[in-house]
Amino acid sequence: MERYLDKVYRELRSRFGEAVQKDVSLSRYTSFGVGGPASIFVTPSSESHLLFLVKFFTREQIPFFVLGRGTNILVSDSGFDGAVISLGEDFKEISFEANLVWASSSVPLQHLVEQTSMRSLTGFEALTGIPGSVGGALKMNAGAWGFSISQFVRRIVGLRKNGESISITPKESDWTYRGFVHNDIIFTKALFELQPGKADEIKTAIAEYSARRHKSQPVGERSAGCVFKNPEPDMPAAKIIDQLGLKGERIGEAYVSSKHANFIVAHPGATARDIYLLMRKIQKIVRDKTGIYLEPEIILLGEFEE
Ligand SMILES: Cc1cc2nc3c(=O)[nH]c(=O)nc-3n(C[C@H](O)[C@H](O)[C@H](O)COP(=O)(O)OP(=O)(O)OC[C@H]3O[C@@H](n4cnc5c(N)ncnc54)[C@H](O)[C@@H]3O)c2cc1C
Protein backbone atom coordinates (compact mmCIF):
# COMPACT_ATOMS: atom_id res chain seq x y z
CA MET A 1 0.00 0.00 0.00
CA GLU A 2 1.30 3.46 -0.83
CA ARG A 3 2.47 5.35 2.24
CA TYR A 4 0.37 8.37 3.12
CA LEU A 5 3.47 10.58 3.05
CA ASP A 6 4.26 9.39 -0.49
CA LYS A 7 0.84 10.62 -1.54
CA VAL A 8 1.47 13.92 0.22
CA TYR A 9 4.85 14.15 -1.53
CA ARG A 10 3.26 13.71 -4.96
CA GLU A 11 0.63 16.33 -4.19
CA LEU A 12 3.20 18.89 -3.00
CA ARG A 13 5.61 18.06 -5.80
CA SER A 14 2.96 18.77 -8.41
CA ARG A 15 2.41 22.16 -6.79
CA PHE A 16 5.95 23.25 -5.90
CA GLY A 17 8.13 21.19 -8.27
CA GLU A 18 11.72 20.54 -7.25
CA ALA A 19 11.39 22.53 -4.05
CA VAL A 20 9.86 19.33 -2.69
CA GLN A 21 12.04 16.22 -2.31
CA LYS A 22 11.49 12.90 -0.63
CA ASP A 23 13.67 10.65 1.52
CA VAL A 24 16.41 13.25 1.83
CA SER A 25 19.32 12.31 4.07
CA LEU A 26 19.57 14.88 6.83
CA SER A 27 23.19 14.02 7.61
CA ARG A 28 24.40 16.57 5.06
CA TYR A 29 22.21 19.25 6.60
CA THR A 30 23.59 18.94 10.12
CA SER A 31 26.91 19.84 11.67
CA PHE A 32 27.14 16.42 13.37
CA GLY A 33 26.94 14.89 9.89
CA VAL A 34 24.83 11.98 11.08
CA GLY A 35 21.17 11.01 10.84
CA GLY A 36 18.73 9.37 8.48
CA PRO A 37 16.27 10.73 5.93
CA ALA A 38 13.34 13.09 6.17
CA SER A 39 10.30 11.61 4.42
CA ILE A 40 9.61 15.00 2.85
CA PHE A 41 12.08 17.87 2.51
CA VAL A 42 10.73 21.14 1.27
CA THR A 43 12.40 24.47 0.59
CA PRO A 44 9.74 27.18 0.36
CA SER A 45 11.04 30.12 -1.62
CA SER A 46 8.53 32.70 -0.45
CA GLU A 47 6.40 33.59 2.55
CA SER A 48 3.25 32.56 0.68
CA HIS A 49 4.73 29.10 0.02
CA LEU A 50 5.70 28.81 3.66
CA LEU A 51 2.22 29.84 4.76
CA PHE A 52 0.63 27.27 2.45
CA LEU A 53 2.90 24.49 3.72
CA VAL A 54 2.44 25.28 7.39
CA LYS A 55 -1.34 25.35 7.04
CA PHE A 56 -1.27 22.18 4.95
CA PHE A 57 0.90 20.18 7.37
CA THR A 58 -1.10 21.40 10.36
CA ARG A 59 -4.44 20.56 8.74
CA GLU A 60 -3.22 17.13 7.58
CA GLN A 61 -1.60 16.48 10.99
CA ILE A 62 1.76 15.80 9.39
CA PRO A 63 4.60 16.41 11.83
CA PHE A 64 6.96 19.05 10.51
CA PHE A 65 10.26 20.53 11.63
CA VAL A 66 11.80 23.86 10.63
CA LEU A 67 15.49 23.39 9.92
CA GLY A 68 18.03 26.18 10.12
CA ARG A 69 21.69 25.34 9.49
CA GLY A 70 21.38 22.15 11.55
CA THR A 71 24.08 23.15 14.03
CA ASN A 72 22.12 22.44 17.19
CA ILE A 73 20.30 19.23 16.35
CA LEU A 74 20.81 15.48 16.48
CA VAL A 75 18.79 13.57 13.90
CA SER A 76 18.10 9.90 14.60
CA ASP A 77 19.66 7.25 12.34
CA SER A 78 16.16 6.26 11.26
CA GLY A 79 15.46 9.83 10.22
CA PHE A 80 12.26 11.80 10.59
CA ASP A 81 8.93 10.45 9.43
CA GLY A 82 7.47 13.83 8.61
CA ALA A 83 8.32 16.99 6.70
CA VAL A 84 11.39 19.14 7.12
CA ILE A 85 11.03 22.77 6.06
CA SER A 86 14.26 24.48 5.08
CA LEU A 87 13.70 28.17 4.37
CA GLY A 88 15.08 29.12 0.95
CA GLU A 89 16.45 32.11 -0.94
CA ASP A 90 13.67 34.56 -0.09
CA PHE A 91 14.62 34.30 3.54
CA LYS A 92 18.19 35.53 3.10
CA GLU A 93 17.76 39.29 3.15
CA ILE A 94 19.46 41.89 5.31
CA SER A 95 18.58 45.58 5.30
CA PHE A 96 19.80 48.51 7.36
CA GLU A 97 18.25 51.71 8.60
CA ALA A 98 20.80 53.61 10.71
CA ASN A 99 21.49 51.32 13.71
CA LEU A 100 18.47 49.08 13.05
CA VAL A 101 18.86 45.92 10.99
CA TRP A 102 16.28 43.54 9.56
CA ALA A 103 17.61 40.04 8.98
CA SER A 104 15.66 37.12 7.52
CA SER A 105 15.78 33.68 9.06
CA SER A 106 18.10 31.93 6.60
CA VAL A 107 20.83 34.54 6.92
CA PRO A 108 23.86 32.84 8.46
CA LEU A 109 24.50 34.46 11.82
CA GLN A 110 28.16 34.96 10.85
CA HIS A 111 27.14 36.92 7.79
CA LEU A 112 25.02 39.15 10.01
CA VAL A 113 27.95 39.68 12.40
CA GLU A 114 30.20 40.61 9.44
CA GLN A 115 27.67 42.94 7.85
CA THR A 116 26.95 44.80 11.07
CA SER A 117 30.62 45.13 11.97
CA MET A 118 31.35 46.47 8.46
CA ARG A 119 28.91 49.26 9.26
CA SER A 120 30.57 49.90 12.62
CA LEU A 121 27.54 48.72 14.56
CA THR A 122 28.39 47.21 17.91
CA GLY A 123 26.54 44.47 19.83
CA PHE A 124 26.94 41.21 17.93
CA GLU A 125 30.70 40.75 18.46
CA ALA A 126 30.28 38.00 21.07
CA LEU A 127 28.17 35.97 18.62
CA THR A 128 31.27 35.53 16.44
CA GLY A 129 31.75 31.88 15.55
CA ILE A 130 28.22 30.63 16.29
CA PRO A 131 27.55 28.69 13.09
CA GLY A 132 23.72 28.82 12.97
CA SER A 133 21.16 30.85 11.05
CA VAL A 134 19.26 33.88 12.31
CA GLY A 135 16.09 31.74 12.67
CA GLY A 136 17.89 29.03 14.64
CA ALA A 137 19.63 31.64 16.77
CA LEU A 138 16.29 33.25 17.65
CA LYS A 139 14.71 29.91 18.51
CA MET A 140 17.69 28.88 20.65
CA ASN A 141 18.35 32.38 22.01
CA ALA A 142 21.92 31.75 20.95
CA GLY A 143 24.66 33.49 22.83
CA ALA A 144 28.12 33.38 24.26
CA TRP A 145 30.34 35.06 26.82
CA GLY A 146 27.39 36.56 28.69
CA PHE A 147 25.60 37.94 25.61
CA SER A 148 22.55 36.50 23.87
CA ILE A 149 20.81 37.44 20.66
CA SER A 150 17.54 38.30 22.44
CA GLN A 151 19.18 41.40 23.96
CA PHE A 152 19.14 43.02 20.53
CA VAL A 153 15.76 41.89 19.18
CA ARG A 154 13.16 44.63 18.77
CA ARG A 155 10.61 42.81 16.60
CA ILE A 156 10.01 39.32 15.35
CA VAL A 157 7.98 38.46 12.29
CA GLY A 158 6.72 35.02 11.38
CA LEU A 159 3.89 32.55 11.53
CA ARG A 160 2.20 30.43 14.11
CA LYS A 161 1.76 26.78 13.27
CA ASN A 162 -1.95 27.44 12.68
CA GLY A 163 -0.96 29.82 9.88
CA GLU A 164 -1.61 33.07 11.78
CA SER A 165 0.90 35.78 10.81
CA ILE A 166 2.64 37.54 13.65
CA SER A 167 4.72 40.69 14.01
CA ILE A 168 5.43 41.33 17.67
CA THR A 169 7.79 43.07 20.01
CA PRO A 170 8.94 40.24 22.25
CA LYS A 171 9.05 40.73 26.01
CA GLU A 172 12.02 39.75 28.12
CA SER A 173 9.93 36.92 29.57
CA ASP A 174 9.48 35.42 26.08
CA TRP A 175 13.13 34.33 26.17
CA THR A 176 14.84 31.79 28.35
CA TYR A 177 18.43 30.70 28.63
CA ARG A 178 18.85 29.02 25.22
CA GLY A 179 15.22 29.18 24.23
CA PHE A 180 12.12 31.05 23.15
CA VAL A 181 9.00 30.12 25.09
CA HIS A 182 6.46 30.11 22.24
CA ASN A 183 7.04 26.79 20.53
CA ASP A 184 4.49 27.34 17.80
CA ILE A 185 6.26 30.30 16.18
CA ILE A 186 8.24 30.05 12.96
CA PHE A 187 10.45 33.09 12.53
CA THR A 188 10.78 34.59 9.08
CA LYS A 189 12.72 37.71 10.06
CA ALA A 190 13.64 39.92 12.97
CA LEU A 191 14.55 43.53 13.65
CA PHE A 192 17.66 44.12 15.72
CA GLU A 193 18.87 47.31 17.35
CA LEU A 194 22.61 47.79 17.68
CA GLN A 195 24.65 50.82 18.69
CA PRO A 196 27.05 52.91 16.65
CA GLY A 197 30.58 51.87 17.56
CA LYS A 198 34.19 52.29 16.54
CA ALA A 199 35.34 50.11 13.65
CA ASP A 200 38.74 49.25 15.16
CA GLU A 201 37.26 48.34 18.57
CA ILE A 202 34.64 46.10 16.95
CA LYS A 203 37.30 44.40 14.83
CA THR A 204 39.51 43.80 17.87
CA ALA A 205 36.60 42.40 19.91
CA ILE A 206 35.67 40.01 17.09
CA ALA A 207 39.26 38.79 16.82
CA GLU A 208 39.42 38.26 20.59
CA TYR A 209 36.14 36.32 20.78
CA SER A 210 37.22 34.22 17.83
CA ALA A 211 40.58 33.43 19.46
CA ARG A 212 38.84 32.48 22.73
CA ARG A 213 36.55 30.14 20.83
CA HIS A 214 39.39 28.47 18.93
CA LYS A 215 41.32 28.02 22.16
CA SER A 216 38.48 26.46 24.14
CA GLN A 217 36.29 24.63 21.59
CA PRO A 218 36.86 21.87 19.01
CA VAL A 219 36.24 24.26 16.10
CA GLY A 220 36.34 22.42 12.78
CA GLU A 221 35.31 19.06 14.24
CA ARG A 222 31.82 17.65 13.74
CA SER A 223 29.73 18.73 16.72
CA ALA A 224 26.55 20.61 17.58
CA GLY A 225 28.03 23.00 20.13
CA CYS A 226 27.25 22.53 23.80
CA VAL A 227 25.27 19.35 24.31
CA PHE A 228 23.82 20.24 27.71
CA LYS A 229 22.52 23.45 29.24
CA ASN A 230 24.37 24.83 32.23
CA PRO A 231 22.34 23.74 35.30
CA GLU A 232 22.94 27.20 36.86
CA PRO A 233 24.53 30.35 35.40
CA ASP A 234 27.58 29.88 37.63
CA MET A 235 27.68 26.10 37.18
CA PRO A 236 28.88 25.27 33.65
CA ALA A 237 27.95 21.78 32.48
CA ALA A 238 31.43 21.54 30.92
CA LYS A 239 33.07 21.97 34.32
CA ILE A 240 30.91 19.27 35.93
CA ILE A 241 31.63 16.80 33.12
CA ASP A 242 35.33 17.64 33.11
CA GLN A 243 35.66 17.27 36.90
CA LEU A 244 34.24 13.76 36.63
CA GLY A 245 37.07 12.89 34.25
CA LEU A 246 34.81 12.31 31.28
CA LYS A 247 36.86 14.07 28.60
CA GLY A 248 37.77 11.48 25.96
CA GLU A 249 34.93 9.15 27.01
CA ARG A 250 33.50 7.46 23.93
CA ILE A 251 30.75 5.28 22.57
CA GLY A 252 31.42 3.94 19.09
CA GLU A 253 32.87 6.88 17.20
CA ALA A 254 31.30 9.60 19.36
CA TYR A 255 33.72 11.20 21.82
CA VAL A 256 33.52 13.74 24.62
CA SER A 257 35.83 16.42 23.24
CA SER A 258 39.19 16.60 24.95
CA LYS A 259 39.11 20.38 24.42
CA HIS A 260 35.63 21.18 25.80
CA ALA A 261 33.84 18.64 27.97
CA ASN A 262 30.35 19.83 26.97
CA PHE A 263 31.00 19.11 23.27
CA ILE A 264 30.53 15.67 21.75
CA VAL A 265 32.47 15.22 18.54
CA ALA A 266 31.54 12.75 15.83
CA HIS A 267 34.48 10.95 14.27
CA PRO A 268 34.14 9.25 10.86
CA GLY A 269 31.72 6.34 11.15
CA ALA A 270 29.85 7.80 14.15
CA THR A 271 26.12 7.23 14.27
CA ALA A 272 23.38 9.28 15.89
CA ARG A 273 22.91 6.36 18.26
CA ASP A 274 26.57 6.58 19.37
CA ILE A 275 26.06 10.27 20.17
CA TYR A 276 22.73 9.70 21.89
CA LEU A 277 24.05 6.85 24.05
CA LEU A 278 27.08 8.93 25.01
CA MET A 279 24.75 11.74 26.09
CA ARG A 280 22.75 9.28 28.19
CA LYS A 281 25.94 7.89 29.71
CA ILE A 282 27.16 11.38 30.68
CA GLN A 283 23.76 12.22 32.17
CA LYS A 284 23.75 9.02 34.22
CA ILE A 285 27.28 9.44 35.57
CA VAL A 286 26.64 13.10 36.44
CA ARG A 287 23.36 12.26 38.15
CA ASP A 288 24.82 9.30 40.07
CA LYS A 289 27.88 11.23 41.23
CA THR A 290 26.44 14.71 41.83
CA GLY A 291 22.64 14.43 41.84
CA ILE A 292 22.52 17.03 39.03
CA TYR A 293 20.29 16.50 35.99
CA LEU A 294 21.90 17.75 32.80
CA GLU A 295 19.20 18.93 30.43
CA PRO A 296 20.08 18.59 26.74
CA GLU A 297 20.58 21.86 24.90
CA ILE A 298 20.62 20.18 21.50
CA ILE A 299 17.31 19.30 19.87
CA LEU A 300 16.64 15.63 19.15
CA LEU A 301 14.74 14.89 15.94
CA GLY A 302 13.24 11.45 15.30
CA GLU A 303 13.08 8.32 17.45
CA PHE A 304 15.90 7.26 19.77
CA GLU A 305 16.07 3.94 21.59
CA GLU A 306 17.92 3.34 24.85
C1 LIG B 1 31.05 24.51 16.72
C2 LIG B 1 29.74 25.04 17.29
C3 LIG B 1 29.77 26.09 18.19
C4 LIG B 1 28.57 26.58 18.74
N5 LIG B 1 28.64 27.60 19.63
C6 LIG B 1 27.50 28.09 20.15
C7 LIG B 1 27.53 29.17 21.09
O8 LIG B 1 28.58 29.69 21.44
N9 LIG B 1 26.36 29.63 21.58
C10 LIG B 1 25.16 29.10 21.20
O11 LIG B 1 24.12 29.56 21.67
N12 LIG B 1 25.10 28.07 20.33
C13 LIG B 1 26.22 27.56 19.79
N14 LIG B 1 26.16 26.52 18.90
C15 LIG B 1 24.86 25.92 18.58
C16 LIG B 1 24.13 26.50 17.36
O17 LIG B 1 25.03 27.02 16.40
C18 LIG B 1 23.13 27.58 17.75
O19 LIG B 1 22.16 27.11 18.66
C20 LIG B 1 22.41 28.13 16.51
O21 LIG B 1 21.69 29.26 16.88
C22 LIG B 1 21.45 27.11 15.88
O23 LIG B 1 21.03 27.64 14.64
P24 LIG B 1 20.68 26.69 13.42
O25 LIG B 1 20.25 27.55 12.30
O26 LIG B 1 21.79 25.77 13.13
O27 LIG B 1 19.43 25.90 14.01
P28 LIG B 1 19.08 24.36 13.84
O29 LIG B 1 20.12 23.55 14.52
O30 LIG B 1 18.77 24.06 12.43
O31 LIG B 1 17.74 24.30 14.69
C32 LIG B 1 17.76 24.54 16.08
C33 LIG B 1 16.31 24.78 16.54
O34 LIG B 1 15.85 26.00 15.97
C35 LIG B 1 14.63 25.77 15.27
N36 LIG B 1 14.56 26.69 14.14
C37 LIG B 1 15.47 26.88 13.15
N38 LIG B 1 15.05 27.85 12.33
C39 LIG B 1 13.86 28.28 12.79
C40 LIG B 1 12.92 29.27 12.37
N41 LIG B 1 13.11 30.01 11.27
N42 LIG B 1 11.79 29.44 13.11
C43 LIG B 1 11.57 28.69 14.22
N44 LIG B 1 12.41 27.74 14.66
C45 LIG B 1 13.55 27.55 13.95
C46 LIG B 1 14.69 24.32 14.85
O47 LIG B 1 13.38 23.81 14.59
C48 LIG B 1 15.34 23.71 16.08
O49 LIG B 1 14.37 23.53 17.08
C50 LIG B 1 27.34 26.01 18.35
C51 LIG B 1 27.32 24.96 17.41
C52 LIG B 1 28.51 24.48 16.89
C53 LIG B 1 28.46 23.37 15.88
Taking all residues of the chain, what is their mean pLDDT, rounded to a whole number?
Answer: 96
**Mean pLDDT (whole number) for 4-25:** 95
CA distance 73 to 30: 7
Judge whether residue 266 has pLDDT over 50: yes
Q: pLDDT tens, 53-68?
A: 999 999 999 999 999 9
As a three-state string, the secondary structure of the chain is CCCHHHHHHHHHHHHHHHHEEEEEECHHHCCCCCCCEEEEEECCCCHHHHHHHHHHHHHCCCCEEEECCCCCEEECCCCEEEEEEECCHHHCCEEEECCEEEEECCCEHHHHHHHHHHCCEECCHHHCCCCCEHHHHHHHCCEECCEEHHHHEEEEEEEECCCCEEEECCCHHHEECCEECCCCEEEEEEEEECEECCHHHHHHHHHHHHHHHHHHCCCCCCCCCECECCCECCECHHHHHHHCCCCCCEECCEEECCCCCCEEEECCCCCHHHHHHHHHHHHHHHHHHHCCCCCECCEEECCCCC
Model confidence pLDDT, tens digit, residues 292-301: 999 999 999 9
Q: How far is the CA of 142 from the centre of ligand 1 (A)?
A: 7
Question: Which residue has better confidence, 1 or 55?
Answer: 55
In angstroms, the CA 205 to CA 201 distance is: 6
- The minimum-distance atom of ligand 1 relative to the CA of 135 is 41
Residue 2: per-residue pLDDT: 59
- Expressed in angstroms and rounded, the spacing between residue 134 Cα and the centre of ligand 1 is 8
Tell me what pLDDT residue 306 has: 82
Q: Is the ipTM of this complex over 0.90?
A: yes
The whole-number average pLDDT for the span 41-62 is 95
Taking CA atoms only, the protein residue closest to ligand 1 atom 6 is 130
Say yes or no to pLDDT of 1 above 70: no
Give the tens place of pLDDT for each residue, 209-256: 999 999 999 999 999 999 999 999 999 999 999 999 999 999 999 999
Domains and CATH numbers, the chain: 4-89 (3.30.43.10), 92-202 (3.30.465.10), 218-301 (3.90.78.10)
Supply the pLDDT for residue 3. 83
Mutate to test the pocket of ligand 1, among 71, 148, 180, 263 (most ligand atoms within 8 A of CB): 71
Q: In which band, very low, low, confident or very high, does the pLDDT at 90 lie, cut at 50, 70 and 90?
A: confident
The answer to whether the beta carbons of residues 259 and 216 sit under 8 Å apart is yes
